[in-house]
């Protein structure tokens, strides 16, 4: 049986679930405005290949594939250096794709006062980043707001938002509440301390 079609007609997650249940092996090749390859072995997803610039958040990229042509090619070969190993149960992998689809993915929602900080990552040296992404990582040795990063790196806010989004998707950085909210909380705390001091002295 030949498995080919268009993502306009078939949902990618449903199709992957279908061919994995049939214990298929081969490479699911997706072409169009965006491309990807998903390596299958006896119904298990063992690897993926995506454009270099999205390797660090390949699941978000694959979850967003909603148009293009697909075909399952049993004799298709992939170079080892383009394969990202996937060591995850199929159901968990597909559940994560579905979750990523439902999450808001607009980095323009990042506010200028929103704080960003690095998350502890033990194998940082094994990850692949662009020069600009490494600059952002270096700048985040201490928590900084979006505006502070833009000024320090002399980088346009719109571009910086997308790069921060990419780093957040690969689990390297995390957001904190906008600085003005934290300042507001601190002001309330200080006011309460003063009030308690007054009450104790009376």
pLDDT at 184: 47
pLDDT at 152: 92
Average of per-residue pLDDT values in the chain:
81
- Summarize the confidence of residues 21-32 as an average pLDDT: 93
Of 77-81, 129-133, 155-159, the poorest mean pLDDT is in 77-81
> Which domains are present in the chain?
4-102 (no CATH), 107-180 (1.10.10.10)
pTM to 2 decimal places? 0.55
d(CA 157, CA 160): 5
pLDDT tens by residue, 55-94? 888 888 898 898 899 999 987 777 777 889 998 889 889 9
Q: What's the sign of the alpha-carbon dihedral 119, 120, 121, 124?
A: positive
Residue 89's CB is within 10 A of a number of other CB atoms, namely 11
Asked if 71 contacts 3 with a C-beta cutoff of 8 angstroms, the reply is yes
Nearest to 173 by CA among 65, 194, 127, 63: 127
């Amino acid at each position: 049986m030949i498995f080919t079609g268009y993502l306009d007609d078939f949902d990618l997650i449903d199709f992957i679930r279908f061919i994995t249940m049939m214990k298929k092996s081969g490479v699911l090749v997706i072409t169009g405005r965006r491309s990807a390859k998903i390596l299958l072995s006896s119904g298990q997803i063992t690897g993926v290949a995506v454009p270099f610039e999205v390797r660090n958040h390949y699941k978000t990229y694959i979850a967003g594939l909603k148009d293009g042509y697909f075909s399952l090619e049993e004799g298709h070969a992939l170079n080892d250096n383009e394969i990202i190993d996937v060591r995850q149960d199929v159901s968990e992998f597909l559940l994560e794709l579905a979750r990523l689809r439902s999450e808001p993915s607009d980095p323009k929602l990042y506010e200028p006062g929103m704080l960003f900080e690095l998350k502890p990552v033990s194998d940082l040296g094994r990850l692949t980043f662009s020069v600009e992404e490494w600059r952002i990582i270096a700048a985040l040795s201490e928590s900084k707001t979006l505006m502070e990063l833009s000024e320090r790196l002399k980088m346009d806010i719109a571009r910086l938002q997308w790069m921060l989004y990419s780093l957040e998707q690969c689990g390297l950085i995390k957001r904190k509440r906008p600085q003005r909210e934290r300042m507001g909380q601190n002001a309330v705390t200080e006011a309460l301390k003063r009030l308690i001091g007054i009450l104790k002295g009376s």
